[in-house]
Amino acid sequence: MGQAARGATIRTMSDVHSEELLAQVAALPALPGVYRYFDAQDALLYVGKALNLKRRVSSYFQKNHGGTRIGHMVSKIVRMETTVVRSEAEALLLENNLIKTLNPKFNILFRDDKSYPYLKITGTPGAHTRGDAPGQVFPRMAYYRGAVDKKHRYFGPYPSAWAVKETIQLLQKVFRLRTCEDTVFANRTRPCLLYQIKRCTGPCVDLISPEAYAADVSHAEALLRGETQELLQALEARMMAHSDKLEFEQAAEVRNQIQALSRVLHQQSIETVDDKDVDILAVRVQGGRACVNLAMVRGGRHLGDRPYFPVHVEDAAAVYAEEGGEGSDAAEGMAGAEDAAIAPAQTTRPVEALVLEAFIAQHYIGVPVPPLLVTSVPVDKALLDALTEQSGLRVNAIHQPREQRRAWLDMAQKNADLQLARLLAEEGSQQARTRALAEALDLPPEDLDQLTIECFDISHTAGESTQASCVVFHHHKMQSSEYRRYKIEGITGGDDYAAMRQVLTRRYSKVVEAQREEGGIDYAKSPEAQAAARPKGQARLPDLVLIDGGKGQVGVAREVFTALGLDLTRIVGVEKGEGRKVGLEELVFADGREKVYLGKDSAALMLVAQIRDEAHRFAITGMRAARAKVRVGGGQLEEIAGVGPKKRARLLQRFGGVRGVASASVEDLATVDGISRELAEEIYRALR
């Protein structure tokens, strides 16, 4: 394309984008980096990386993308930020850190708030030779989830809590390591039941020497590392050494340990192949959704798997495909200097590869990466190089494995297929419920993904610790991150009407206030139009407000909405049926319409019941927590300066609760690990 044609294209794009933005694009350096696009509401649209920022970013603004998804995204761009880095690997890591933390709309996102569990063995090796505390001399093994502390040894991560607990049971059978808390261990005077059933060697009452216990710990760690053959050989050598010294009882103990280990290795199918730590990754894409199934092998043992479901797959894949992915940089590099910025993409990668690479890049940001990945599709070498640079460990990947690795991958692929089929079935059912409710209430059938429902419930016990809950439903599922609890105060205990009046007023008065400040928002418009008219972060009025109650509660909601000048047609009450039987509920309306009975087999009623029950559950859990805090006094310790979660836990474990802490003397308090004399005096004064 010549200069004139290119100028015409830029003039066309200038009708959409500001001169300031286009000047910023023109001034970009020809260096590797990361770019970020924002819309008029300052919401992040897209995060991308480039080997050449100037060439890549210019390609968005110097060609007409038409009505494609990338064209839709580009038309929304009003602001851009860029960060220059030293290499492609740095760009890739920064890109995915930003994607994971900022959740841009046009990137493939893997949202996983759950940390992985580990098996923890407390203390450091050699504690029995240094005269450390008994709890360190005799390490315990425990389930652990959280930040890693260098004082202890951690094995994992494991895909589930069940896998950790199963491993603990395995080690109990073979090496009989203790699992009790240090406070329990320090105060035992006789062995517990675990000793009686041969799951512990009784170190709490000195039934095993520190040296023998340390050997068991070392052997357990060897098993966790997958050194099974070396471990069996070491145990056999130990047994023969005892036999040569005529120590037949000790030799018999080791023999029993070898037999138990052999049974466990057979029962648990622990592999003796060379692969010790491997992650197996299989991907499946269908119906606009995707599933990545991650199976973990640690210490040669298959620990199970865990499915992940990304969002924005279609939008992100379409944008990536149309821009040509990183492959377009290579294509641009081969093009002439004049036409480099608008060279067409030479490669189109399958969606499965894009999804899998997005998962790998985002997942291993906070999780240790093993030296080998077995994948169902090829992985870009640049990604592996970035992981190697990040972890300091050479990371390899294979996608056409053989023998045992092939069996692992086939299993992971089958599970990915099953998990995605389950998700599509569930989503299809949920979408059908949303559609049925919209039809039953004569709601507009367009864009049911945006149908938003908020449901309120009140919970208390005889007027004590009254709490109101608000749960939110949209995009065909409950949105737990948007749930809210309200502490109800200043009312007569047990007055549910007053509680409902207070929570509705607090919830929606802010919406009305913001509406007035902005000159009014037309809630009859589409959700997209409402979003464009709202300031960033401001909530909108939901399409439906469900009230768990009949005429009385709906009447209260009507009064609140009338006072605030809001639309009464949005209020729907869920009234219990005859005998309060499930399936006989009726819907009550605030605008004077007659009650509606949907039928016990109605998909619409199933959705209403699902949302109502979730609001009830959320209110109950909040009320119980608040009530327990009031009755037990758990909040008193939290208010003492210098008493954090760990010290509070130690105090409660030592004295059996807040009342025990309150009745303890200063001297007793000072005996707790981490509690100084000054802090003990402060606790003593605060609790009295």
Domains of the chain: 3-107 (3.40.1440.10), 448-629 (3.30.420.340), 633-686 (1.10.150.20)
| 95-102 mean pLDDT | 86
- Report how far residue 340's alpha carbon sits from residue 559's, in angstroms, rounded to the nearest whole number: 65
Nearest CA-CA partner of 617 in 471, 413, 440, 431: 471
Helix 551-564 vs helix 496-517: angle between axes, to the nearest 10 degrees? 30
Helix 53-61 vs helix 313-323: angle between axes, to the nearest 10 degrees? 110
- Report how far residue 629's alpha carbon sits from residue 539's, in angstroms, rounded to the nearest whole number: 31
- Report how far residue 9's alpha carbon sits from residue 1's, in angstroms, rounded to the nearest whole number: 10
The predicted-structure confidence for 625-670, as pLDDT tens digits, reads as follows 665 554 444 456 766 777 877 888 788 777 777 777 888 888 888 8
Q: Which two tokens stand for residue 88?
A: 């492609």
pLDDT reported for residue 130:
56
Give me the DSSP letters along 429-482: HHHHHHHHHHHHTT---TTGGG--EEEEEEEEETTEEEEEEEEEEETTEE-GGG
User: Rounded to whole angstroms, what are the CA distances from 595 to 77, 89, 314, 586?
Assistant: 48, 62, 41, 6
Q: Is the peptide bond before 157 cis (omega within 30 degrees of 0)?
A: yes
Q: pLDDT-based confidence at 335, cuts 50/70/90?
A: very low
pLDDT reported for residue 263:
64
Nearest CA-CA partner of 320 in 296, 361, 288, 348: 348
Question: What one-character DSSP code corresponds to residue 126?
Answer: T
pLDDT reported for residue 321:
60
| 316-320 mean pLDDT | 73
- Report how far residue 661's alpha carbon sits from residue 572's, in angstroms, rounded to the nearest whole number: 49
Residue 430 in contact with residue 453, Cβ under 8 Å?
Answer: no
Exposure pattern of 56-78 as b/e (b: 16+ CB <10 Å)?
bbbbbbbbebeeebbebbbebbb
Tell me the pLDDT of the chain averaged across its residues: 79
pLDDT reported for residue 2:
43
Identify the sign of the CA torsion 541, 546, 549, 552. positive
| 30-35 mean pLDDT | 92
Q: Is the pLDDT of residue 62 over 50?
A: yes
Residue 314 φ/ψ, nearest 5 degrees: -65, -50
pLDDT reported for residue 186:
83
Q: pLDDT-based confidence at 1, cuts 50/70/90?
A: very low
Nearest CA-CA partner of 322 in 583, 621, 646, 46: 46
Residue 602 in contact with residue 583, Cβ under 8 Å?
Answer: no
Residue 318 φ/ψ, nearest 5 degrees: -65, -45
SS (H, E, C) 382-397: HHHHHHHHHHCCCCEE
Using DSSP, state whether 550 is helix, strand or coil. Answer: coil
The predicted-structure confidence for 159-206, as pLDDT tens digits, reads as follows 888 888 888 888 888 888 999 888 888 888 888 889 888 889 899 998
The predicted-structure confidence for 578-601, as pLDDT tens digits, reads as follows 766 767 788 889 988 888 888 877
The predicted-structure confidence for 249-275, as pLDDT tens digits, reads as follows 778 877 877 776 776 555 544 454 566
The phi-psi region of residue 253 (left if phi > 0; otherwise alpha if psi is between -120 and 50; otherwise beta) is alpha
Please report which helix (H) or strand (E) contains residue 494, including its range. none
User: Rounded to whole angstroms, what are the CA distances from 537 to 199, 533, 647?
Assistant: 55, 12, 38
pLDDT reported for residue 444:
78
Residue 491 in contact with residue 466, Cβ under 8 Å?
Answer: yes
The predicted-structure confidence for 387-437, as pLDDT tens digits, reads as follows 998 888 899 999 999 888 898 999 999 999 999 888 888 778 888 888 888
Task: Find the range with the poorest average confidence among 63-77, 123-137, 351-365, 452-466.
Answer: 123-137
Report which of residues 84 and 123 the model is more confident about: 84
pLDDT reported for residue 512:
82
Q: Which two tokens stand for residue 208?
A: 């095993």
Q: Which two tokens stand for residue 674?
A: 């981490």
Using a pLDDT cut of 70, give the percent of the chain over it: 81
pLDDT reported for residue 633:
47
Residue 106 in contact with residue 316, Cβ under 8 Å?
Answer: yes
pLDDT reported for residue 131:
56
Report which of residues 140 and 342 the model is more confident about: 140
| 549-571 mean pLDDT | 90
pLDDT reported for residue 242:
76
pLDDT reported for residue 631:
46
Question: What is the pTM assigned to this prediction?
Answer: 0.64
- Report how far residue 432's alpha carbon sits from residue 434's, in angstroms, rounded to the nearest whole number: 5
User: Rounded to whole angstroms, what are the CA distances from 376 to 278, 398, 412, 630?
Assistant: 14, 8, 9, 54
Q: Which residue has the tokens 């015409």?
A: 8
| 314-334 mean pLDDT | 54
Residue 149's Cβ-count burial label (10 Å; 0-12, 13-18, 19+) is exposed
Cβ neighbours, 10 Å, residue 503:
24
